Structures are given as C-alpha cells and as structure tokens.
Amino acid sequence: MNIQFKKGVLEICVLSVLAYKECYGYELVYEISKQIDISEGTIYPLLRRLKDEGFVTTYLQESVEGPPRKYYRLTESGRKEEHELKEEWMRFTAAVNSLLVGKNHAAE
Amino acid sequence: MNIQFKKGVLEICVLSVLAYKECYGYELVYEISKQIDISEGTIYPLLRRLKDEGFVTTYLQESVEGPPRKYYRLTESGRKEEHELKEEWMRFTAAVNSLLVGKNHAAE
DNA sequence: GTATGTACCTTGTTATGCAAGATACTGTGT
DNA sequence: ACACAGTATCTTGCATAACAAGGTACATAC
C-alpha cells in the first residue's frame, strides 16, 4: 500500500471512527486495519496531536485483559473538524478523479 | 487545500495527464491547477524523479514565447506505472470512504 | 532599460507515516 | 518459578514529498 496516500487521511479515519464510538488506541488500530494498513507507531503520535489540538479528550479505564486502556472521545471542535475534513476529502478526490479520467480535455 | 492529501497523488496526476498528451513542465502546472493547487517547486523535482525512475523521457523544443520547453513523454514503463497507481488510488479511496461512512460497523 | 510573461531549476523547511524498539500488565503452559 | 504470547501504551530516528522563496534566462512591449 502506498504510504504517501495515507498522509493526512488517517487523521480523518480516526476522527470518523471516533465519531461513531469512543475507542482506545489499540482498538483504533484494529478498526482501521480492516480497511487500511496502519501501525501503532502511527496512531499514538497522531492521537497525541489530536489531543493537543483539542479535538479529543481522554480518560483511562481498567481492563481485565491487560494494562489500562486510554479512551478517546471527540470534543465539539473535534466533530466540527471531522465534518470539515471529510468535506475537504470529498472535494479533493473529486478533483483528482476528474483529472484521472481526462474530463478537463476538450476532445475526450 | 490540505497539502498532506496530495502526497503521492500528484505523481498520478502528472502521469495521467502525460498519458493523454505530451507536456512541458510549465504546461503541466497549468493543466493540473485547473483541479488542484500545485506549484512549480513541486512539479520540477517530481518530473526529475519520474525521469530518474524511467517513467518518462524528455526532449527540448524551442518556443516563440520564451525559453525552450522541456517536453515529457511517457515510456512503456511509465504507462504501466500510471495504470497501476491509478488502480491503487481507486482501491485506497474506496477503503477510506468505507471507513468514513461507517460501513464496517454492524448496527449502522 | 524596465517590467511582464514564459520557462526552467534548487535549497531549506515542514509534515506525516513507519520500523524498531522499550515498557508493563495478564493469563497459560511447563 | 519461569518463559511466552497477547494486550496496551509510548518514543526515537528515518524516509518521503510538497511548498515557499529564491535564482536564471529568453521574448516582447512600453
């Protein structure tokens, strides 16, 4: 899988999954991995960034299966960001696709 | 426009435009800019990379409007790359979109 | 001769993802 | 008691690609 494609996109994926349900980091890796390869070395720094920017809050919860889990919950600002990023993603892919099919050329 | 989204994608855009017609660098900026913001500082290093990797060949042609133009032509390998990258892009966006609409969740 | 448009290129900065590793808790097998 | 696998967190150093800002040079118009 092309690593470059993921740049900036994993952030929307995380926000989008969190918009559906609160998750802990390890769980997010599992959820997103169903569709896109993602590693832990990516998700944890990304989650820290989202917290620093105020898009998520966290809380700890004990687990019977291992160490405590750090859950992530979207803030209002996070929901807004999720919505805006998604719209931007849609606009962007539409623009790219129109280039890829050569729509902008006259005799095509 | 989110710069990160473009990572790796501009390469397909360039290959895709070149698959339709041979262009010089400045012209590629103009063509792609119809859909996506792109600057010259991006296109020239990208074109050099494509040449180094054997995806394009170049030839000079004089212009009456300014300095000589360096045209880029896809090689066979370049056509193959264009096709494969495009397929990968389609698979990737489909995967992302399925995450964004929450298709992978049961009760949704 | 100065400005504008065309056309090429390079350097340094920035952002993000990843591999590889470290840490630590729980349960299972020997 | 000990090792191992699974769960769960985090950090460090590297690679990549886009961009801003600049430089060079040709042609034309004023």
- Tell me the pLDDT tens digit for each residue of B61-80: 988 888 999 999 999 999 99
Whole-angstrom Cα distance, residue B104 to residue B82? 30
Domain that holds residue B74: 3-100
How distant is the Cα of A73 from the closest Cα of chain B, in angstroms? 17
In Å, how far are B22, B23, B27, B52, B62 from B69, measured between CA atoms? 12, 9, 9, 19, 6
Contact state of B1 with A89 under an 8 Å Cβ cutoff: no
Q: Quickly give A78 CA vs D18 C1' distance in Å.
A: 26
In a domain, A18, yes or no: yes
pLDDT tens, position by position, for chain A (108 residues)?
Answer: 899 999 999 999 999 999 999 999 999 999 999 999 999 999 999 999 999 999 999 999 988 888 899 999 999 999 999 999 999 999 999 999 999 997 655 443
* Any domain includes A89: yes
Element (H, E) at B19: helix B9-20
Instruction: Give Cβ neighbours of residue A68 (< 8 Å, ≥ 6 apart).
Output: A60, A61, A62
The number of folded domains in chain A is 1
- pLDDT value at residue B108: 35
In a domain, A65, yes or no: yes
pLDDT of B104: 58
**pLDDT score recorded for residue B107:** 41
List all residues of chain A from 24 to 63 with a beta carbon under 8 Å from chain B: 31-32, 34-36
CATH number at residue B15: 1.10.10.10
Assess if residue A107 is contained within a domain.
no
Residues A13-42: pLDDT tens digits? Answer: 999 999 999 999 999 999 999 999 999 999
The pLDDT of residue A12: 97
Q: Is B106 part of any domain?
A: no
Query: pLDDT at residue B97 above 90?
Result: yes
Residue B13 C-alpha, separation from nearest chain A C-alpha, in angstroms: 6
Instruction: Assess if residue A71 is contained within a domain.
Output: yes
Domain membership of residue A8 (yes or no) is yes
User: Average pLDDT, whole number, for chain B?
Assistant: 93
Question: What pLDDT does B9 receive?
Answer: 97
Footprint of strand C on the protein (CB under 7 A): A 1, 3, 6-11, 37-42, 45-46, 49, 64-67; B 3-4, 24-27, 40-41, 44-45, 47-48, 63, 65-67, 69-70
Confidence category of residue B105, pLDDT binned at 50, 70, 90: low
